[in-house]
């Protein structure tokens, strides 16, 4: 079983924690991680470009002139594509970019991402995010004590208001809960900091 040193927010070692080999010792598969991350990014896309066809453009219900006798080309509506203010031919319409990935593959990707972070010494466990107030200075001091840098993901078992509010001014840092973990977020940041309760929660969910 892999072990990791548990620290407090001051950077002092307060103990050791044994990690589940099923969750933090998985073999990393690059193709699997690529598929899961690609699907996650595709699911964030919004197909919002839309044009109106001749049936959707307002107006044009009256025939502009009679069918014969004027020498003009026959026309039944002023909303035909060749007219100004007419409909658009072959224009873009809302598109669904979503991709489906089996649940077991998503869970395996999370285990592999956590294992890769632990193997590369980019995973850290703390006893808890016990900040005194919702201040950015407190978060910066904590990250400085832990030596993680500012490109970091904090994972807690339950919402931590002080830490989350204190990170609002840090564009390269994010805080989430163990229930909201995904492979893309884990791989996006240089370091991952989890509290002990979040580690146990992740092991209970993904170690089955």
Calculate Rg over the CA atoms of the chain: 27
Q: Do residues 14 and 127 touch, judged by C-beta distance below 8 A?
A: yes
Q: Please determine, for residue 9, whether its predicted confidence score (pLDDT) is greater than 90.
A: no
CB-based contacts of 159, cutoff 8 Å, min separation 6 = 177
Domain coordinates of the chain in residue numbers?
A: 3-45+97-206, 48-96
From the number of C-beta atoms within 10 Å of its C-beta (0-12, 13-18, 19+), residue 12 rates as exposed
Q: pLDDT, tens digit, for every residue of 48-82? A: 899 999 999 999 899 999 999 999 999 999 999 99
Tell me how far apart the alpha carbons of residues 188 and 171 are, in angstroms, rounded to a whole number: 13
Q: Please determine, for residue 208, whether its predicted confidence score (pLDDT) is greater than 80.
A: no
Question: Which homologous superfamily does the CATH classification assign to the domain defined by 3-45+97-206?
Answer: Ribosomal protein L4/L1 (3.40.1370.10)
> Mean pLDDT over all residues of the chain?
91
Q: pLDDT, tens digit, for every residue of 178-199? A: 999 999 999 999 999 999 999 9
Q: pLDDT, tens digit, for every residue of 128-141? A: 888 888 899 999 99
Q: pLDDT, tens digit, for every residue of 27-42? A: 999 999 999 999 999 9
């Amino acid at each position: 079983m892999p072990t990791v040193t548990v620290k407090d927010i001051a950077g002092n070692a307060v103990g050791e924690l044994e990690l589940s080999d099923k969750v933090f010792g998985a073999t990393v598969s690059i193709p699997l991680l690529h598929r899961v991350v690609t699907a996650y990014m595709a699911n964030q896309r919004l197909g919002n470009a839309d044009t109106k066809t001749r049936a959707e453009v307002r107006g044009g219900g009256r025939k502009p002139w009679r069918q014969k006798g004027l020498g003009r080309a026959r026309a039944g509506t002023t909303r035909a594509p060749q007219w100004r203010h007419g409909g658009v031919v072959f224009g873009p319409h809302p598109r669904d970019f979503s991709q489906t990935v089996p649940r077991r593959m998503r869970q395996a990707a999370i285990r592999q991402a956590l294992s890769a972070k632990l193997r590369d010494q980019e995973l850290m466990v703390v006893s808890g995010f016990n900040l005194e107030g919702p201040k950015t200075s407190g978060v910066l001091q904590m990250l400085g004590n832990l030596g993680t840098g500012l490109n970091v993901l904090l994972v807690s078992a339950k919402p931590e208001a002080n830490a989350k509010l204190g990170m609002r001014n840090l564009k390269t840092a994010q805080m989430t809960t163990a229930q909201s973990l995904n492979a893309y977020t884990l791989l996006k940041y240089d370091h991952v900091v989890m509290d002990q309760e979040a580690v146990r929660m992740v092991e209970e969910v993904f170690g089955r």
